[in-house]
A and B are shown apart, each in its own frame.
Chain A
């Protein structure tokens, strides 16, 4: 374990995990002196019947004052303002956010507006603009991937001004994250695979990038081990409740790890592929993760090697010589993508060319790779990557990831 010269670690979110964890929401809210929660969610979650499950679990003990289920796929200012208005009209005193990253971000934005009694969210953008605790917020994730339930950021689109507003503050952290197996039981296999690979990428980048520390390491390795033990089984047996709960916890552990240690070039490129081609974040992470480890190999192969035990288990770790372990980690991740590809009937992609939309059209055309590389130059997450990348480096990685071929190590810049 490397002890950095200086580190910070923080996660003051209460974690409650179980097959009936939703039933703990009323006492959680009472402990926070709240009794009139508003549910914030999206149409997909609502349509899947998950809001009904939440309401059924809590209604005997607490009144839900409203359900706002129109959060858009990308959280935006209009939705935040609309839901803040509903919160005030209903005289709510807490939020239960049920959903994925967009719902969590929207709920955080609403909480800023109603807690600060402000009509202008722009006053609170950036880091450290919030100075006091916000109203109670309970996060109920419905995908086991983003880790938004334990992160202190929110990204909200301002369509009018065509910009993304970033909010960062420890006061944005939810008061509690409630992980319940019922919330992810209906997640389709391909989505289960993609979200879990998102969590795996959070954990692996947290462990191998520059801001790691002993506590982020411990959370990251715990997440990797849970994903190794449960992901393929859950994709093959979606009704596996223990596995679902384990993956939900893996995503939360990985979220804690990366919100303290940050992430690197895999996220830089993933954000850019998403921005340029609207490709889903999880599958971008799955495809790009081995390339991030390959690119940084000369910098931190020793750290990558340490992931073999949690990622592959005791037998491979015991039988692989130290100098081959990092290579084996990369091969194991590629094999995991292959296994998920087969287990999902080809829906989980192994390379960028295989990422397809609902109509089976390719989402990442080769001719857009240069645009993606250009976009990557603007992304802040590269700051924490062990090795630098310029436009040509990004493009080289993207081209290899598009074809699904390993990187040419001789072309990687070194220092």
Chain B
């Protein structure tokens, strides 16, 4: 396929360090950002203290002595951000290191942005802990629209450090949730930004890592490697998602998770095939191209152009259903079995619409309805049992 590259733009200020002993590079990375006195931010939680200890130990061979703000509430408010910024000022700190996504990352990003407005720019570093929802790299501050120089990603992290030691406390459910969100967000970014090769490079790497390592991350001898791959995929998908405004599945899945026992990752994995089936009806080309990162070179090359979109949807649906078959309680087979009623769909769509800046509630309703009615099965019935374009 020839992709015209007129009018494309891409920007990701986030450096990614991932793998063994990644934490030990923190002092030199901070120094290269002009920082010497970091403050570590962490939310409350059972493993928070041990994670903080691991990070502090990584500084032991350096001259840096990080301060610690280790009890951020799970829902930080404006006054929590104020308190964190005040602490940074009082103790003359020059960088934030957020241990974990969610509240720690949100607080560090907001406090860094606030302080940067007051004086020189304060960098912040994000350390995933394996329970990420993909929103950590969201750019919260933009300047004038239609002004390519004006989008100021000040609250995006300067660096994301993925170290397997910080991921070891995440359980299989959290790890799978993180991986499924990375998979869904990466796939959505891939098809949304199809003509932008920079964005699709991040998205393709995220999809490939998540698909290939998700099962491995949950248990077994290579779980540490698998968790590193999944957490790296989460960061890459977040970069691609941020660049392509791929938020549809994330918003819908988050809204569903507020109404049911399953997590946002489970719902993202469940919704992904229905999202892709919707795109496929408009433009099958990007969905077909997704087969390459999702299934590898051989499957891609062997399939005809006509078959690739369906195979891509099937491959990604399989990735979810393999988890669902093992743990149906955590990864429901359908929205119905998750306890979502048809009557609840409009209000869930409404909540999803409010959470993002993209699709309308009507659009979300269509996606949720397709998933609730399991419309892929219906499409297959129309296609007939021997039609090679069957999705599932």
List chain A positions with a Cβ less than 8 A from chain B: 1, 3-19, 24, 27-32, 128, 131-132, 170, 179, 214-215, 217-219, 222, 226, 229, 242, 245-246, 249, 253, 256, 306, 309, 314, 317-318
CB within 8 A of A1: which of B14, B197, B208? B208
Closest 6 CB pairs of A and B: A31-B149, A6-B19, A218-B201, A10-B15, A318-B301, A28-B149
Are A253 and B15 in contact, with the CB atoms below 8 A? no
Are B19 and A7 in contact, with the CB atoms below 8 A? yes
Are B228 and A3 in contact, with the CB atoms below 8 A? yes
The answer, yes or no, to whether B109 is at the interface (CB within 8 Å) is no
Are A27 and B201 in contact, with the CB atoms below 8 A? no
Contact residues in A for B385 (Cβ distance below 8 Å) = none
B209 nearest CB neighbor, chain A only? A214
Are B15 and A8 in contact, with the CB atoms below 8 A? yes
A31 nearest CB neighbor, chain B only? B149
Which of A10, A31, A214, A229: most chain B Cβ within 10 A?
A214
* Bound complex: CA A132 to CA B94 (Å): 14
Are A314 and B205 in contact, with the CB atoms below 8 A? no
Are A215 and B6 in contact, with the CB atoms below 8 A? no
Are B198 and A253 in contact, with the CB atoms below 8 A? yes
* Bound complex: CA A131 to CA B229 (Å): 32
CB within 8 A of B10: which of A1, A3, A15, A226? A15
The answer, yes or no, to whether B379 is at the interface (CB within 8 Å) is no
Q: Whole-angstrom distance from the CB of B233 to the nearest CB of chain A?
A: 9
Are A215 and B202 in contact, with the CB atoms below 8 A? yes
- Digit string of B1-15 for contact with A (CB within 8 Å is 1, else 0)? 011111111111111
Are B209 and A3 in contact, with the CB atoms below 8 A? yes
The answer, yes or no, to whether B200 is at the interface (CB within 8 Å) is yes
The answer, yes or no, to whether B105 is at the interface (CB within 8 Å) is no
Contact residues in B for A15 (Cβ distance below 8 Å) = 8-11, 198
* Bound complex: CA A117 to CA B90 (Å): 32
- CB contact under 8 A between A5 and B19, given known A31-B143, A245-B6: yes
Are B20 and A6 in contact, with the CB atoms below 8 A? yes
* Bound complex: CA A282 to CA B151 (Å): 36
Give 19 pairs: A residue, B residue, CB < 8 Å, sorted on A: A1-B208, A3-B225, A6-B18, A7-B18, A8-B15, A14-B11, A15-B198, A16-B8, A31-B152, A32-B149, A128-B32, A132-B34, A215-B202, A215-B236, A218-B201, A242-B4, A246-B2, A309-B292, A317-B301
A242 nearest CB neighbor, chain B only? B4
Are A18 and B8 in contact, with the CB atoms below 8 A? yes
Are B201 and A253 in contact, with the CB atoms below 8 A? yes
B11 nearest CB neighbor, chain A only? A14
* Bound complex: CA A61 to CA B228 (Å): 47
Given contacts A17-B7, A30-B149, A30-B150, 18 further A-B contacts (CB under 8 A): A1-B208, A3-B232, A6-B21, A7-B17, A8-B17, A9-B16, A14-B9, A15-B9, A170-B32, A179-B5, A215-B205, A218-B205, A219-B201, A222-B197, A242-B5, A309-B300, A309-B301, A318-B302
* Bound complex: CA A314 to CA B299 (Å): 11
* Bound complex: CA A235 to CA B288 (Å): 30
Contact residues in A for B205 (Cβ distance below 8 Å) = 1, 214-215, 217-218
Those of B200-216 within 8 Å (CB) of chain A: 200-202, 204-205, 208-209, 212-213
Contact residues in B for A309 (Cβ distance below 8 Å) = 292, 297, 300-301
Are A14 and B150 in contact, with the CB atoms below 8 A? no
Contact residues in B for A306 (Cβ distance below 8 Å) = 297
Contact residues in B for A245 (Cβ distance below 8 Å) = 4-6
Contact residues in A for B149 (Cβ distance below 8 Å) = 24, 27-32
CB within 8 A of B201: which of A18, A222, A246? A222
The answer, yes or no, to whether B46 is at the interface (CB within 8 Å) is no
B229 nearest CB neighbor, chain A only? A3
Contact residues in B for A229 (Cβ distance below 8 Å) = 2
Contact residues in A for B48 (Cβ distance below 8 Å) = none
- CB contact under 8 A between A17 and B201, given known A10-B15, A27-B149: no
* Bound complex: CA A215 to CA B31 (Å): 25
List chain B positions with a Cβ less than 8 A from chain A: 2-22, 25, 32, 34, 143, 147-152, 197-198, 200-202, 204-205, 208-209, 212-213, 225, 228-229, 232, 236, 292, 297, 300-302
Are B148 and A17 in contact, with the CB atoms below 8 A? no
Q: Whole-angstrom distance from the CB of B59 to the nearest CB of chain A?
A: 18
* Bound complex: CA A11 to CA B15 (Å): 7
Are A31 and B19 in contact, with the CB atoms below 8 A? no
Q: Whole-angstrom distance from the CB of A113 to the nearest CB of chain B?
A: 19
Contact residues in A for B209 (Cβ distance below 8 Å) = 1, 3, 214
Are A17 and B147 in contact, with the CB atoms below 8 A? no
Contact residues in A for B301 (Cβ distance below 8 Å) = 309, 314, 317-318
Q: Whole-angstrom distance from the CB of B92 to the nearest CB of chain A?
A: 18
Are B34 and A131 in contact, with the CB atoms below 8 A? yes
Which of B19, B147, B301: most chain A Cβ within 10 A?
B301
Are B297 and A317 in contact, with the CB atoms below 8 A? yes
Contact residues in A for B150 (Cβ distance below 8 Å) = 27, 30-31
* Bound complex: CA A218 to CA B289 (Å): 14
CB within 8 A of B148: which of A3, A24, A246? A24
Are B11 and A218 in contact, with the CB atoms below 8 A? no
Are B212 and A1 in contact, with the CB atoms below 8 A? yes
B233 nearest CB neighbor, chain A only? A214
Are A27 and B197 in contact, with the CB atoms below 8 A? no
A308 nearest CB neighbor, chain B only? B297
- CB contact under 8 A between A226 and B197, given known A17-B8, A132-B34: yes
Are A27 and B148 in contact, with the CB atoms below 8 A? yes
Contact residues in A for B212 (Cβ distance below 8 Å) = 1
Contact residues in A for B25 (Cβ distance below 8 Å) = 8
Are B143 and A11 in contact, with the CB atoms below 8 A? no
Are A4 and B19 in contact, with the CB atoms below 8 A? yes
Contact residues in B for A314 (Cβ distance below 8 Å) = 300-301
- CB contact under 8 A between A19 and B6, given known A14-B11, A318-B301: yes
Contact residues in A for B147 (Cβ distance below 8 Å) = 27, 30-31
B146 nearest CB neighbor, chain A only? A27
Contact residues in B for A246 (Cβ distance below 8 Å) = 2-3, 5
Contact residues in B for A30 (Cβ distance below 8 Å) = 147, 149-150
Contact residues in A for B16 (Cβ distance below 8 Å) = 7-10, 215
* Bound complex: CA A138 to CA B143 (Å): 20
Contact residues in A for B236 (Cβ distance below 8 Å) = 214-215
Contact residues in A for B202 (Cβ distance below 8 Å) = 215, 218
- CB contact under 8 A between A18 and B5, given known A128-B32, A217-B205: yes
Contact residues in A for B229 (Cβ distance below 8 Å) = 3
A175 nearest CB neighbor, chain B only? B149
Are B197 and A28 in contact, with the CB atoms below 8 A? no
B305 nearest CB neighbor, chain A only? A314
* Bound complex: CA A219 to CA B198 (Å): 7
* Bound complex: CA A16 to CA B232 (Å): 26
